[in-house]
Amino acid sequence: MPRLSQRFSSFPAYPLAHIPARKKALIEAGVDVIDLGAGDADLAPPAAAVSALQRAAEVPAMQRYGFGLGLVRYREAVAAWMDTRFGQRVDPMTEIVPLLGSKEGLAHIGFAFAGPGDVAIIPEPAYQAYLGGTLLSDATPYVYALRPRTNFLVDLDEIPADVLSRARILYLNYPNNPTAAIAPRDYLERVVNVCRERDILLVYDNAYSEMGFDGYVPPSIFEIDGAREVAIEFHSLSKTYNMTGWRCGWAVARPEISTALAKVKAFTDTGQYMGIQAAGVAAIESWAEFVPQNVAVFQARRDAAVAAFRANGFAADVPSATMYLWMPLPERIASAAFADRLREEAGVIVLPGSGFGAGGEGFFRISFIQSEARIAEAARRAGAVLDAMLEELA
């Protein structure tokens, strides 16, 4: 067999890679599986998006290459939404990059701004695309562990000066996956100032911008003075509109940054299917009606999850945003061992904190992707498995 590259060998195991096969095997064996793993809700996308895709599938022009330009109406819809939602005016042709889901853009941005000798600061636990893009671009990852003592924020004052001097990219994601943490505005102001002073690209993953609860409204990084100089912000239709499999998102940045990402993409893909972008237009235009109702469902599931897991022996904080609970485990219980036993013995799928990197050890994540009743049953099973593991250690 041909020798694998050193770059490939540097990749850790992907946290979700083995779960679909195990889930399939359990279901085939007759197990009642409750999957709270991936952030992939069992809810429908906007009906207008489905209808738009159906219509587009019958239009011959939609079947052609979209290239980087894509569907101009999609760019215009994104620009209008950024203005309506955040008060940020962006040029649809020069400051927006259509993406095949935000994940590929988050991974590809490193190819344009980092290379050998450069550092990318990566929070941990985190979405693995940050680490993947860093390793693929031959840059050096500096991993910062997100822990409760900093409210799961990256404290740049704790990063060594020699690391900051070589840093070209800082990845941030608030509201945060998997911890559900949110970032105060004064924190974002400090981060933007540091990035401006040190000429660091701030890669701001805002995939959960519309999943705020109890009156919390997540901001755009561009609402912070000076962010336009150094930031690129990523958005996705996946969580907001229950369109995970559609792979439709975008990045926003000033032209000098956006065109760099667009150039990388020109060598790696030929654009999103324009029919899906047409559906994206319909989804975005349904924002005012669809999103509040959708978020209300997730808030009800959040409340049910917090109550159920607390009742079964877990410490569950009430998140202000996202679709996740990030819950600590007793010190002697490894997160991977707990997740494996919960899946194999009780048919409940959760993600171990260690699957998001070593910095996530000691926690596990559940997603609000099933009904309140199913979440409650999953919590009951999880409590029984945890009790059994603790009894074995006694």
What integer is the mean pLDDT of 175-181? 97
What integer is the mean pLDDT of 371-390? 96
- Final residue before a domain boundary, out of 267, 288, 309: 288
CB 189 within 8 Å of CB 367: no
- Final residue before a domain boundary, out of 288, 319, 340: 288
Domain contains 36: no
Q: Within this chain, do residues 152 and 252 fall inside the same structural domain, yes or no?
A: yes
Confidence of residue 15 (pLDDT cuts 50, 70, 90): low
Rounded to whole angstroms, how far apart are CA atoms 325 and 109?
29
What integer is the mean pLDDT of 102-107? 95
Query: What is the pLDDT, as a whole number, of residue 123?
Result: 96
What integer is the mean pLDDT of 304-327? 97
Confidence of residue 4 (pLDDT cuts 50, 70, 90): confident
Place of tokens 């003075």: 225
Place of tokens 């994540």: 365
Q: Within this chain, do residues 280 and 361 fall inside the same structural domain, yes or no?
A: no
First-to-last C-alpha distance (Å) of the chain: 48
Q: Within this chain, do residues 158 and 209 fall inside the same structural domain, yes or no?
A: yes
Residue 310, both tokens = 């607390």
Q: Within this chain, do residues 254 and 156 fall inside the same structural domain, yes or no?
A: yes
**Closest by CA position to 352, among listed 93, 116, 178:** 178
Q: Within this chain, do residues 178 and 161 fall inside the same structural domain, yes or no?
A: yes
Residue 58, both tokens = 């019958």
Domain contains 114: yes
Rounded to whole angstroms, how far apart are CA atoms 325 and 311?
15
Query: What is the pLDDT, as a whole number, of residue 114?
Result: 96
Full-model pTM: 0.94
Tell me the sheet residues that pair with 169: 120, 201
Q: Within this chain, do residues 52 and 120 fall inside the same structural domain, yes or no?
A: yes
Confidence of residue 257 (pLDDT cuts 50, 70, 90): very high
Q: In a 3-state reduction of DSSP, which class is residue 95?
A: coil
The length of the chain is: 394
pLDDT 10s digits, 316-375: 999 999 999 999 999 999 999 999 999 999 999 999 999 888 888 999 999 999 999 999
Domain contains 373: yes
- The CATH number for 240's domain is 3.40.640.10
Query: What is the pLDDT, as a whole number, of residue 18?
Result: 80
CB 270 within 8 Å of CB 110: no
Between 17 and 208, the more confident residue is 208
Rounded to whole angstroms, how far apart are CA atoms 120 and 143?
8
Q: Within this chain, do residues 63 and 15 fall inside the same structural domain, yes or no?
A: no
Query: What is the pLDDT, as a whole number, of residue 3?
Result: 86
Tell me the sheet residues that pair with 249: 99, 236
What integer is the mean pLDDT of 289-306? 97
Confidence of residue 1 (pLDDT cuts 50, 70, 90): confident
pLDDT 10s digits, 119-129: 999 999 998 89
Q: Within this chain, do residues 244 and 324 fall inside the same structural domain, yes or no?
A: no
10 pLDDT above the threshold of 70? yes
Rounded to whole angstroms, how far apart are CA atoms 145 and 194?
19
Q: In a 3-state reduction of DSSP, which class is residue 26?
A: helix
Domain contains 38: no
Rounded to 10°, the helix 287-311/372-393 angle is: 30
Confidence of residue 6 (pLDDT cuts 50, 70, 90): confident
CB 37 within 8 Å of CB 16: yes
Count of Cβ atoms closer than 10 Å to residue 378 Cβ: 26
- Final residue before a domain boundary, out of 235, 263, 288: 288
Q: Within this chain, do residues 276 and 309 fall inside the same structural domain, yes or no?
A: no
Place of tokens 């994940």: 103
**Closest by CA position to 123, among listed 191, 189, 186, 185:** 191
16 pLDDT above the threshold of 80? no
CB 224 within 8 Å of CB 189: yes
Domain contains 115: yes
Query: What is the pLDDT, as a whole number, of residue 222?
Result: 98
CB 283 within 8 Å of CB 48: yes
Work out the percent of the chain whose per-residue pLDDT is above 90.
89
With a CB cutoff of 8 Å and minimum separation 6, the contacts of 40 are 244, 367, 369
Q: Within this chain, do residues 367 and 306 fall inside the same structural domain, yes or no?
A: yes
Expressed as residue numbers, the domain containing 164 is 47-288
Domain contains 1: no
pLDDT 10s digits, 182-193: 999 999 999 999
pLDDT 10s digits, 51-88: 999 999 999 999 999 999 999 999 999 999 999 999 99
